[in-house]
Amino acid sequence: MIHAPLLPIIVFLGSSVLLVSLFQRLGLGSILGYLAAGILIGPQMSGLITDVKYTQSLSEFGVVFLLFLIGLELQPKKLWSLRKTLLGFGGLQILFGSIVFSFLAYLFGLSGAASVVVGFALSLSSTAFSLQSLSEKKVLNTEFGRASFAILLMQDVVAIPALAIIPSLGLNPASTASVQWGAFLFAFIGFAIFSRTLLGPFLRQVASLRSRELFTGVTLLIVMGVSYLMAHVGLSMALGAFLAGVFLSESEYRHELEADLEPFKGLLMGLFFISVGMAVNLSLILERPLTILALAVLYMGLKGLVIFGVGRIMQLPREASRRLSSYLVQGGEFAFVIFGVGQSAKVLSLEWTQTLTLIITLSMILSPFIILVDEKIQSIWMKKRRPLQKYDQIEDSDNKIIIAGFGRFGQIFGRMLRSQGIGFTAIDHDTEQIQLLRRFNFKVYYGDASRKEILEAAGAKKAQHFVIAVDDMMTATQIAETVRQEYPHLKIYARARNRQHVFELMALNVEHIRRETLDSSLVLTGDLLVDLGIPADRVRQMVERFRRHDELMLQEQFKVRNDPNLYLDVSRLGMEQLAQVLKEDAQKSYVDSGSEKKNELSS
């Protein structure tokens, strides 16, 4: 009996490990795995866990940590700089989606207040699911990927005040609502003053002790303490955690706070989705399977049309708008929270809460298949588009160098090689750029360097060196994969956009990699240091030391790139080591210059 409390924990962890692993292997994502685990172990199926309320109360902490981390990311200055994109894409999507679904809910017989709550909740998409899908498909940096991020970010921002407003729409008297808002304003002002005056110095003192365990404990204390205080005055714990995150977003310890909470957030968010799965009323599906499925399809169809329309209003191309809608067509995790708050405030009935929860869950289950269909459409569209412009017939030559991408970066290679009379074969995918280059007597072929037949025609079998100078990271990685797989004898010289891109290329055993901005930024920094009065020889030594140290850091970070905590530790340690080395160099230089002056005076 002593070990009885361990059984639920073992059941949670065991079902999560098995089903999340299975669903990720199937390409359906971890969220669906957690939902499936909840349905499986819940009282309506296996009955391994029967205390659903206890699980739900524990899983609230998952939402608390999620909102704290969202608050840390929502720096006021950053939000202000993105205001046009957020209000454009995100604002219009929430507005139109809320209107459509509120009207539909009202037609189904819900009250005005309930319709507004349901309409807003249904307009939201899953941040966790969508961002994971966009990252896995490597489309987050595309035009529709950036629009997706803007919509998701705006939804997160707007969902927070909704958690505070919804209780005032229920059966509570007006005086209770006014007391809640008074408590909120009091808590907001109090924590703002506390974070600006006492919290910063306190965190600095804790950080100076260099105890990671203590810093993690303080972080947990801040999140749970503020959440408890907000709950104590009758407000949402999640709202308190969000405010704490926002006020700490400008702190110098923001990244460390985020790294310390990431493991807790992941586990507790998993528990949150398990609790949602346990609360799914399977009897509704058995009683009205066609009705529930029809409602889920209607919901996704209308939402897809709304998002597509917003994309077109914001002047996204038709193709990008379609892809935007396919990635955001599912319901969001905040909808579950809002339905729960709405039920507690007696705005929504239990039956409607269960029905809507089931619809959102079904939309999440169907969403990966919608993305697969979208990819199939995209593939067919690309095949139809490709014949519109035939690739050039590449002349047979004995060039030992192939350059993929002949924009600003690739042209430097071309000009240097041509000045030395060294032949090369240049391939580019931009027809306008090619026409411009041909006016300057550059021989550039139109083609896709990631395709084997194009590389074959360019003489990849006989070549010795391959330069990847394309601008797009995903295309560059695809080219590297093809070259490494089909022509392993070629030495690859690759242009990288950032550190993550370097890691992708290093994983393909590309040895010669240069980040496009590193050299120019180091040179410009050197010019600034010289203008500040530091001797030019010493600046050159500093720049070279920085370059060597950065290369070593890349190697160490590459080894731990898949572990966020270790990656952060290695990066932090590397920055401290570099600062120490440069400081010691500066002191040595000062001592040397002092001894030189003494020698001059004595002579």
Same domain as 400, residue 374: no
Provide the pLDDT for residue 152.
82
Place of tokens 């330069």: 467
Same domain as 132, residue 266: yes
Last residue within a domain, chosen from 350, 378, 406? 378
In terms of Cβ atoms closer than 10 Å to its own Cβ (0-12, 13-18, 19+), residue 504 is buried
Question: pLDDT tens digit string along 209-235?
Answer: 777 777 777 777 877 777 777 777 666
Please, where are the H alpha helices in 112-253?
A: 112-123, 127-136, 143-165, 174-194, 200-208, 212-232, 237-248
Question: How much of the chain exceeds pLDDT 70, in percent?
Answer: 76
Residue type, 96: F
**Residue range of the domain that includes 474:** 394-497
Q: Residue 262 falls within a domain, yes or no?
A: yes
Q: Is the pLDDT of residue 600 over 60?
A: no
d(CA 212, CA 259): 11
Q: Residue 43 falls within a domain, yes or no?
A: no
Same domain as 167, residue 57: yes
Residues 6+ apart with CB under 8 A from 543: 522, 523, 525, 526
Same domain as 531, residue 487: no
Q: Residue 18 falls within a domain, yes or no?
A: no
Last residue within a domain, chosen from 378, 402, 419? 378
Indicate which CATH number applies to the domain containing 417.
Answer: 3.40.50.720
Q: Residue 582 falls within a domain, yes or no?
A: yes
Question: In the numeric block, which tokens belong to residue 370?
Answer: 């919608």
Same domain as 349, residue 324: yes
Same domain as 442, residue 302: no
pLDDT tier at 62, thresholds 50, 70, 90: low
Residues 6+ apart with CB under 8 A from 268: 59, 61, 62, 64, 65
Same domain as 297, residue 197: yes
More confident residue, 154 or 143: 154
Determine contact, residues 195/245, Cβ cutoff 8 Å. Answer: no
Indicate which CATH number applies to the domain containing 309.
Answer: 1.20.1530.20
pLDDT tier at 556, thresholds 50, 70, 90: confident
Last residue within a domain, chosen from 497, 532, 558? 497
Same domain as 430, residue 316: no
pLDDT tier at 5, thresholds 50, 70, 90: low
Same domain as 474, residue 334: no
Same domain as 344, residue 260: yes
Q: Residue 373 falls within a domain, yes or no?
A: yes
Please, where are the H alpha helices in 26-111?
A: 30-41, 52-73, 76-81, 83-85, 92-107
Question: pLDDT tens digit string along 312-359?
Answer: 888 888 888 888 888 888 888 778 778 877 877 788 888 888 888 888
Same domain as 345, residue 423: no
pLDDT tier at 1, thresholds 50, 70, 90: very low
**How many domains is the chain built from?**
3
Provide the pLDDT for residue 552.
85
Q: CA-based angle 468:472:473, to the nearest 5?
A: 80
d(CA 480, CA 506): 10
Same domain as 167, residue 278: yes
